[in-house]
Amino acid sequence: MNNTDKVHNGNDQGENSGGEVRNISSGFLGIDIISPTCLVYSGEVSNIQVGSLTGQVGIYPNHAPLICLIKPGKLLCNLPDGQKTFDVGMGILKCESNHILVLVESAGECSLDVKEEENPETEEGTEQEENKESTPSA
């Protein structure tokens, strides 16, 4: 067994707690990529590749727990139905229990604006404006 198998399987035997040999290619990881202003991506990946301060990092299902600093560059996500690449700024990556959390200073497109989600007044203000438009004027 090589060192890569030890990292991805999480123990020296290459077995899970039930004694079965793990097949790392059959599972998926959950991932959340978050910048200070938005949730950039949330979903499932088969693996990711990203540059860290100490070199390129690849994370696959059943990876050992890991925290590392990532450097600005490309974060490649292999999805169940293709690939997605994100341009990311400096950040932190945490991998634990088949979930990856990526916190970055900046990233590509944002799918959800955190400020709008956290501010219920914004939604109420929009609803009030819609009600004014739909109410007939006297």
Domain 24-112: which topology? ATP Synthase; domain 1 (2.60.15)
**Residue 36 DSSP class:** S
The distance from CA 116 to its chain's CA centroid, rounded to whole angstroms, is: 20
At residue 15, the pLDDT reads 35
Which residue in 118, 31, 114, 34 sits closest to 78, CA to CA? Answer: 31
pLDDT in tens, 107-125: 986 555 544 444 444 444 4
**Residues in the chain with pLDDT values less than 50:** 1-25, 114-127, 129, 132, 138
For residues 79 and 30, give the distance between their C-alpha atoms in angstroms, rounded to a whole number. Answer: 10
For residues 16 and 86, give the distance between their C-alpha atoms in angstroms, rounded to a whole number. Answer: 32
Q: Are strands 29-34 and 99-104 parallel, antiparallel or unpaired?
A: parallel
